Amino acid sequence: MTIIAPSILSADFARLGRDIELVEQAGAQWLHLDIMDGHFVPNLTIGPAVIESIRPGTKLFLDTHLMIKNPADYLEAFARAGADLICVHLETLDNPRAVLRQIKSLRKKAGLALNPDKKFAAVEPYLNEIDLVLFMSVWPGFAGQKFRPDILPEVKKCREHLAKTGLPVDIEIDGGINRETAPQALSAGANILVAGSAIYRSADPAAEVQYYLNLAA
């Protein structure tokens, strides 16, 4: 099944509850939360307190994308705040296996994210530890950047490998998803699409969510 994960990075933070309800009612299944620390990426966003406020108001699956240094120090806080999946960047980990196991021991789904310069081979050794691979299709840090089609061959390799091995891992693509690039991401093998600006900067965010859901069906 294909999943649409609107990213609240492009939402109106003064009206966050309304913006979340909007995409939930339109049929989105996940909500993508971009956590930035100003160190791993040159931008700052939200932390566990905001997730804790979001949690009781929505049934959406909270897809938490940590773009922070030393993610292990914060896993418990994000788990307690109500994240359903915690995704960490390979680039931030000295011992990926230990951190992924820590996420699982908190009874959360575990994701591993790759910057756009990484190959599929970088994530392959960890596929049996994770529920999701996140291929970044822009450099992490900001919404509204241009999609990088050069990541698509790596996504395709990952999909082929998963088909061969039968490992139950989702493939998510994040960055620059719009009406033109979403079909490319899906045909390369992604089954979860993150979209920030394409949804929240459009005149009709609900219609945009429905467009991606229909595309996927």
Q: Which two tokens stand for residue 152?
A: 């698509």
177 binds ligand DX5 (CB under 6 A): yes
Q: Which stretch binds ligand DX5 (CB under 6 A): 76-84, 93-101, 161-169, 195-203?
A: 195-203
Among 4, 10, 169, 186, binds ligand DX5 (CB under 6 A): 10
> Does the protein bind ligand DX5 through residue 57 (CB under 6 A)?
no
Q: Which of 7, 45, 102, 115 binds ligand DX5 (CB under 6 A)?
A: 7
Is 150 one of the catalytic residues?
no
How many residues bind ligand DX5 (CB under 6 A)? The answer is 21
- The interface region with ligand DX5, picked from 48-56, 84-92, 115-123, 172-180 by CB under 6 A, is 172-180
Whether 131 is a known active-site residue: answer: no
Give yes or no for residue 202 binding ligand DX5 (CB under 6 A): no
C-alpha–C-alpha distance, residues 120 and 162, integer Å: 11
Judged by CB under 6 A, the chain residues 64 through 93 that form the site for ligand DX5 are: 65
Q: Is 5 within 8 Å of 171 (Cβ atoms)?
A: no
Of positions 174, 190, 198, 212, contacts Zn ion by CB under 5 A = 174
Does 145 participate in binding ligand DX5 (rule CB under 6 A)? yes
Name the residues annotated as catalytic.
34, 174
Binding site for ligand DX5 (CB under 6 A): 7, 9-10, 32, 34, 65, 138, 140-141, 143-145, 174-177, 194-198
Binding site for Zn ion (CB under 5 A): 34, 65, 174
